[in-house]
Structure 1
Amino acid sequence: MNPIKEDRRVRKTRRAILDALLSLTREQGLHAVTVGGITERADINRATFYAHYRDKQDLIEQAVSEVLSEWGTVEEHRWAGSGSEVDFDRLLPIFTHMFEKIGKHAEFYRIMLGPGGYPGFSENLRDVMCRLIRHGHHRVLELKGARPLVDPDIYLSYVTSAQLGVIIHWLHQETPHPPEYMAEQLMLLYRLGAVQAADYEG
């Protein structure tokens, strides 16, 4: 068989398996989903499933790994300027890129971060976000030659949790704002801080 056609067939089968997992998780909760249920929903036999995955857990872990691997392109962006200057405007394209990547897999994020989803996904996502935020925080402190006012671990926990909360809020909106709008809002929260951002115009 033509390798290109074979590759397309593999991608199509894996897509059908993942779609089946997500739809069943939305209906039943991940704990209740079985390989038999997945194969029936995807309209494939069990042998086909096992040709791609060892079991349900392997499917979940591979799917999570694939989705989170796209955060590597977010990490490639740098939000600290050169020299001793910190350019917060660089946050805008970084956050826009982040929301675009999440939006690309919105259904996966929405279901796996939901009450019947996969707890490990939330933990893995938090770890990825924490690493990115830690990198940026350390870089800013280096450029400014400053010592942090807030304990770094507490700062990272606060910012990571807040950012994850914003992402979850966005995913559950009936009519989600575009990535550019969410990026602007998140940038303002970073620039102003929670107290100042809660103030009113006028």
Structure 2
Amino acid sequence: MNPIKEDRRVRKTRRAILDALLSLTREQGLHAVTVGGITDRADINRATFYAHYRDKQDLIEQAVSEVLSEWGTVEEHRWAGSGSEVDFDRLLPIFTHMFEKIGKHAEFYRIMLGPGGYPGFSENLRDVMCRLIRHSHHRVLELKRARPLVDPDIYLSYVTSAQLGVIIHWLHQETPHSPEYMAEQLMLLYRLGAVQAADYEG
């Protein structure tokens, strides 16, 4: 068989398997999903499933890994400018890129972060965000040659939890706002802080 056709066939089969997993998880909760249910929904036989995955857990882990691997392009951005101050203007493209990546796989994120989803996914996502923020935060401290007012670990826990909460809210509301709008809102929270951002204009 032509390698290109074979590759397309593999991608199509894996897509069908993942779609089956997500639809069943949305209906039943991930714990109730079985390989048999996946193969029935995807209209494939078990041999085809096992040609791609060892079991349901392997399918989940590979799917999570593939989705989160796209965050590598987010991490290529830099938070700190060339000077000694934080360049907040650089936050906008970083956050926009982040929400674009999440929006691209919104259904996956929504289901896996939902009540019947994959319990480990929120921690996987938190770890990725923590790594991104830690790199940026440490870079800023190096440039400013200053000691942080807040313990770095506490700061990271606060920021990543808040950011994850915003992401989950956006997903559960069926992504009513564009990635650009969400990025602008998140940037304002970073720039102003939670207390000042809660104030009103006028």
TM range, smaller chain: over 0.9
Deviations 1:119-169 (A, max 9, x none): 111111010001111111111111111110011111000000000000000
Alpha-carbon shift at residue 193 of structure 1 (Å): 0.4
- The sequence identity of aligned pairs, in percent, is 98
Partner of 1:167: helix, strand, or coil? helix
Structure 2 Cα separation of the partners of residues 51 and 8 of structure 1: 15
Q: Which runs of 4+ in 1 moved over 6 A?
A: none
Structure 2 Cα separation of the partners of residues 182 and 121 of structure 1: 21
Alpha-carbon shift at residue 85 of structure 1 (Å): 3.5
Alpha-carbon shift at residue 173 of structure 1 (Å): 1.2
RMSD across aligned positions (CA): 0.8
Structure 2 Cα separation of the partners of residues 175 and 4 of structure 1: 35
Per the alignment, residue 158 of structure 1 pairs with: 158
TM-score computed with the length of structure 2 as normaliser: 0.98
Structure 1 Cα separation of the partners of residues 187 and 15 of structure 2: 34
Partner of 1:175: helix, strand, or coil? coil
Deviations 1:97-140 (A, max 9, x none): 00000000000000000000001111110100011111111111
Per the alignment, residue 27 of structure 1 pairs with: 27
Deviations 1:163-186 (A, max 9, x none): 000000000114510000000000
Deviations 1:83-102 (A, max 9, x none): 32321100000000000000
Aligned residue pairs total 202
Moved more, 99-108 or 168-177: 168-177
Structure 2 Cα separation of the partners of residues 175 and 87 of structure 1: 28
Structure 2 Cα separation of the partners of residues 60 and 174 of structure 1: 23
Deviations 1:23-82 (A, max 9, x none): 000000000000000000000000000000000000000000000000000000112111
Structure 1 Cα separation of the partners of residues 79 and 154 of structure 2: 21
Q: 1:187 to 1:126 in 2, by over 3 A?
A: same
Structure 2 Cα separation of the partners of residues 174 and 54 of structure 1: 33
